[in-house]
Structure 1
Amino acid sequence: MKITVDTRDFAAMLLDLSRTADEKRGVWLRSTRGYWGDEPGEVTLLAGLSTTGFVSGHTWMLAHGHLDPVVFPFEDVQAAIAVLKPFTKIENHTVEIAISENADGKPVVTVNESPDLFGGGTAFQFTAGDCDTFPDEALTRILTRKTPLPAPRRNGMVVPDVPRSTWSPGALEPLLRVAKRRKQTIRMFRSHSQQIHLVQIGPRWIGAINPAFDDETSDDTAPGVDARLTDHVITTDVTDADEDWLTKIGVLFTDQPLDTAPAEEEQQQDEELPLSDNSGDEDS
């Protein structure tokens, strides 16, 4: 049982999935069938899923072959990215992912360069994680919403839905890093202020983020602190304002994304793993 994938896309896929993974759960992978771009029928896809418990990510890429569900332990995901990185600079380079069993009957993952005229190449091998403990079914329910999620409760009481949303910086950070590498915006979809929000980043990434619990008793419709600004306030409705009023306001209303660059070594790693022309991660 093996599957062949583009090396550059696979390394990028693992990088994005590692953002929403942790050491406890790792990264879940499997092959599936689905539509891709303008292809007339269904094609083989390699789908990946990961979660930290607070934020989850799911993405997919073109593939050839078959792969039953398998879990890459977190440390092996990082090692695989490091091993594959030199080959991402080679156009049309591919690797094979094969599953076998060791003497103890445990699944072993082998990632190696696709054979050429001279035989094999670089290979990387590790013991797979436990698929039985990975919450793929629960995450499928969250991401597909085929079955509605229960109303959020706190101490046995239904939590009221309010305009305010509260986020943990640690949960938002993975989304920002995935969006920055993919050069896409972040779209959030809510059904309740304290319910898990669905997230979309481009046409090939969806996920979920859990709001942080906020038990503040301040007004739920506006910030609970006062601004320390001028006494002069523009009261004219925006629809009746000067045409250039929003322009004069400046950066607060610009449609350009803010440049929130990660640490230098992290930014370098992201830039060295671009999506290939086959990634399909461009809005159309």
Structure 2
Amino acid sequence: MPEGKIVKALSGFYYVLTADGHITQCRGRGVFRKNKITPLVGDMVVFQADNDQEGYILEVLSRKNELVRPPIANIDQAILVFSAMEPEFSTVLLDRFLVLIESKEVTPLICISKMDLLEEDEKLMGFADYYREIGYEVIMTSTKEPEQLKQILPYLKDKTSVIAGQSGVGKSSLLNVLRPELELKTDDISSHLGRGKHTTRHVELMEINDGFVADTPGFSSLEFLEMSAEEVKECFPEFVSISDQCKFRECTHLKEPKCAVKAAVEAEEIAPFRYKHYVSFVEEIKDRKPRY
């Protein structure tokens, strides 16, 4: 049986791309509903086709990860697009994305867009430098300068990437520069709401520079529904790197004595804003109502 990757899911149909570049429109067999498995964009699948155009998905192969909102699987990398202005750069929202992405073992790439709207800003540059220091790749871009955007291309090669970030930051504009023939619809910021108008309606993988990039409707939920409070500390790399210096092996970095993380925060070796976000995320999970 042939195998392929689902590159688009729309109205109950799954579009499966095979190694030779052919796309077959498939439906899922009823067995998926019985087993509570929903094929996702990014899935590798086994399918059966009676002709060149239509077929049925028979099996979803093992996934290395999956996101729920947006629904996509087997992601290598998340390009987190945050604007310098309009909307204003938000470290708490970026950290929320980073924790969610880290929890799925997906590599983040931080892209700060709309740099053309901002004069040299020491505070923003300081944030960018700090994220680089703790191990993240950070690039600065502007859709007014297409050559700047092309610095993303090497990161896309041979990877499946998802572009994420708050609405109105320029995600579709970024894709339009990387592949102008896409002509993706973009909208300006809503002056009434102060946020971007949603422009992408479904998940689809597009081939760019020998890799796949997903333009998604955005993260409709940024809640830590699948995480425990204990898991959050593992998603802060600067905590992980010194946690073995804590007195207690299972230190939560909250109230324990002789905590290396808290000491590093007090010494400003770890940014206080990151620790503040960590505490608030843990409290949010602990306050979460149990799901039945």
TM-score (structure 1 length as normaliser): 0.23
Look at both structures and tell me which one has the larger radius of gyration over its CA atoms.
1
TM-score (structure 2 length as normaliser): 0.23
Q: Which has the higher contact order (CA 8 A, sep 6+)?
A: 1
